[in-house]
Structure 1
Amino acid sequence: MNEHYAPGRIQEKRRFLCKLKSYCRNKRYPEGSIAECYLTKECMTFCSRYLEDVETRINRPSRNDGFTNHNLAETYLFQSYGQAIGKVEIAHLDNRSWVQAHRYILFHHDSIEPLRNEFKQVLRSRSRSRRLQHQEIYKLFIESFHEWLGQTLWSGKDVNEEAKWFSQGLNRVVKRYNAFLINGFKFHTKSHERLRRVQNYGIVVNSSITSYASARDNNPVEAKVEYYELLTDIIELDYYGKQKVALFQCDWVDINTTRGIKKDQFGFTMVNFSRLIHTGQQLIDELYVFSSQVKQVFYSKDPIDEGWYVVLRNTPRDLFDMGNGSKDDIDKRSKTLHFFRTKLK
């Protein structure tokens, strides 16, 4: 009778036999030695389930687990808490970097949304006589919102407590790290790995952008796009002890033109880091993203196209795709498994 077996089953059986063989401590009585060691491990595993505050094989944390202190996590904005690794460096932000970091936080916090909408209305009312286009108003909004917010709240406007904290601005003294654990990934800055063969500084961020067809376009379109970046700096900022936030500073690939991103003949995404946007030279550039927004990718150098790198996506440790349990998903996986089956007579 012919039966179908997956090669994985055979490999699992061989690995299990090798594991049993490693239990042998007395070659004169191998069967008894293996049985005794196997029974000892099973008893220890069973007893470890009832131990508290003790790290065992059952409850030990993942390698890239990050912070597990929920009380500490609540002090961080945008779920940006994570575990810093290595030496901590105290640094001071220059004026441009301070504005860019502070503005990025203001544009994403929900408590500031009513004030953002109010300032947009102010800009629209001012632009009626000057006949400014939507794109020009948007640029003015980016450049001057943080200044307007501080002036408005200092004039005595009644707002919530969080808005008052944000109006004071960030502390210019920040903590700088070379490595950070978050979202199940370990990230290193590019400079930290300049002499290493490993790569942990590739980042991808899903973000929404507002696009204008031209300077006279009055109907901007919002769309979701993926930005590919290189991690250059990791900083932790605070609003003078009230709230903290971890930001990643990156080199952003130009995804607006084919000189920065393209698809090869096999459908792989390729990027060119000689074509960058948001370099930080201008005040309106956005250098930073929240640490909670990022996912990890690897960049493999293309041997044919000079200067181009193939994007390879990574998944967090201990994360497995188990499917959604639907009939279509089961049928799809069954068809895929069919190619890996073989006959054993």
Structure 2
Amino acid sequence: MYPFERYMKTLKAYVKNYARPEACMAEGYLAGECIAFCTEFLHNSLPDQEPVNRNEDIETDERVLEGRPLNKATEVILTEREREIAHQYVLMNMAMMDPYIDMHLEELQAVDVRCLKNETLLWKLHNKRFAKWVKEKIPTNSKDHSTKLRWLAFGPRHIAQTYKGYIINGNRFDTEDVKRKTQNSGVTYEAFSMCRSSARDNRHQADIVSYYGVIKEIILLDYHMFQIPIFKCIWANKGKGVKEEDGFTLVNLHLSQSAYLKYPYILASQAKQVFYSREDEMSQWYVVMRVPPRGYHELETEEEIDTPLSVQPIEELGNDDENFCVRADCEGVLVME
């Protein structure tokens, strides 16, 4: 009965005059049939344009690697420190740099014996020297590497562009100062991080850590031949700014940012959108709410697998009562009264 009940809901939606429900249903059904006939008749004569999702990543500029910016760009000049931190993060999170990261780590362990025993010192020296090392390893005039790799190793310009909005991965992100009711500035980032129990612990363990924050700036780094979008964020402190209560994640975004001064950036492609809700304006804690991108439907992500049922043929049953319920797939058990 479900298909019929579902169709009755469609027919009931046609009723506008409750004094004549049958007439409204007949009129709505006839209008639907006429539209369907005209659509099929004009299908081959007029192009049928599919609606474009407003949050779709339409490439408007070939220089931008991922996503597309919104609104008008504002030109800013990065300080040497800001440029260094942003460039270092880009190098550490680009897939094409993975072989060079492993090469640099092996070289540090071969040069300095302390790096073999102390992983904290190893990663500290790696983060400090990798940008300079890879620039010398891949010179700009080298013909053995791709153009993209050479300019990535060379580094970005000090002049960058900032935007108030950006669309990527089906999500529309805005900076915090836009103050929209939709709260498109909330982001979360799952990082594969090296963790340790204390400052004296030299043994790192890899684990996935979730960070929550809001977008402060949307920056397009100019690598001469292409542009890479990054988000500068304000993060909730992992120590005292994140907690779990009754199955909900709560964050405090008003704590000190001293722990994240060296790591405020993430790639735009790494950001996942979240929304924050709090009980009242006096509360410092926000409840994290995750939502799928616009146009996402759970049924569309599941593969439809039609498994045909194996129907066993029905054999004709004889009149022999002894063989009527005899199974041939296992040994029988004789039960004595």
TM-score range, shorter chain: 0.7 to 0.9
Is 1:251 aligned to residue 242 of structure 2?
A: no
Which amino acid is 1:317 matched to? R
Corresponding residue of 1:267: 247
Corresponding residue of 2:316: none
Contact in 1 for aligned 2:55/2:168 (Cα 8 Å): yes
Q: TM-score, normalised by structure 1?
A: 0.73
The one-character-per-residue Cα deviations of 1:24-61 (angstroms, maximum 9, x if unpaired) are: xxxxx867754553234223443565477653xxx111
Pick from 204, 207, 222: which aligns with 1:223?
207
Written as runs of structure 1 = structure 2, the 5 A alignment for 1:295-314 is 295-303=272-280, 306-314=283-291
* Alpha-carbon distance between aligned partners in 1 of 2:152 and 2:187, rounded to the nearest angstrom: 28
Corresponding residue of 2:165: 179
Is 1:63 aligned to residue 54 of structure 2?
A: yes
Q: The residue matched to 1:107 in structure 2 has which SS?
A: helix
User: How far has the Cα of 1:305 moved from its partner?
Assistant: 8.4
Q: The residue matched to 2:84 in structure 1 has which SS?
A: helix
Pick from 30, 38, 43: which aligns with 2:37?
43
* Alpha-carbon distance between aligned partners in 1 of 2:59 and 2:88, rounded to the nearest angstrom: 29
Alignment identity in percent? Answer: 24
Structure 1 gap segments, 5+ residues each: 24-28, 327-345
Which amino acid is 1:262 matched to? K
User: How far has the Cα of 1:116 moved from its partner?
Assistant: 2.2
Range with bigger deviation, 157-166 or 106-115: 157-166
Which amino acid is 1:231 matched to? I
Contact in 1 for aligned 2:109/2:116 (Cα 8 Å): no
User: How far has the Cα of 1:110 moved from its partner?
Assistant: 3.2
Which amino acid is 2:242 matched to? I
Which amino acid is 1:186 matched to? R
Pick from 62, 82, 85: which aligns with 1:97?
82
Larger radius of gyration: 2
The one-character-per-residue Cα deviations of 1:73-101 (angstroms, maximum 9, x if unpaired) are: 6x554xxx223221221222221221111
Structure 2 gap segments, 5+ residues each: 18-22, 306-337
> Residue 129 and residue 188 in structure 1: after superposition, are their counterparts in 2 closer, same or farther (change >3 A)?
closer
> Residue 90 and residue 44 in structure 1: after superposition, are their counterparts in 2 closer, same or farther (change >3 A)?
farther
Contact in 1 for aligned 2:188/2:213 (Cα 8 Å): yes
Which amino acid is 2:36 matched to? E
Which amino acid is 1:117 matched to? D
Corresponding residue of 1:106: 91
CA-based RMSD of the aligned residues comes to 3.7
> Residue 274 and residue 108 in structure 1: after superposition, are their counterparts in 2 closer, same or farther (change >3 A)?
same
Which amino acid is 1:235 matched to? I
Aligned residues: 300
> Residue 91 and residue 319 in structure 1: after superposition, are their counterparts in 2 closer, same or farther (change >3 A)?
same
The one-character-per-residue Cα deviations of 1:202-221 (angstroms, maximum 9, x if unpaired) are: 11112100112344544311
Corresponding residue of 1:197: 181
> Residue 130 and residue 221 in structure 1: after superposition, are their counterparts in 2 closer, same or farther (change >3 A)?
closer
Is 1:145 aligned to residue 130 of structure 2?
A: yes
Range with bigger deviation, 317-326 or 102-111: 317-326
Q: TM-score, normalised by structure 2?
A: 0.75
* Alpha-carbon distance between aligned partners in 2 of 1:131 and 1:118, rounded to the nearest angstrom: 15
User: How far has the Cα of 1:279 moved from its partner?
Assistant: 6.2
Written as runs of structure 1 = structure 2, the 5 A alignment for 1:279-318 is 281=261, 285-303=262-280, 306-318=283-295
The one-character-per-residue Cα deviations of 1:111-148 (angstroms, maximum 9, x if unpaired) are: 32333233323433443379983212312221221122
Contact in 2 for aligned 1:232/1:250 (Cα 8 Å): yes
Q: The residue matched to 2:57 in structure 1 has which SS?
A: coil
* Alpha-carbon distance between aligned partners in 2 of 1:65 and 1:130, rounded to the nearest angstrom: 46
* Alpha-carbon distance between aligned partners in 1 of 2:247 and 2:183, rounded to the nearest angstrom: 23
The one-character-per-residue Cα deviations of 1:143-183 (angstroms, maximum 9, x if unpaired) are: 22112222444599885234422222112222211111221
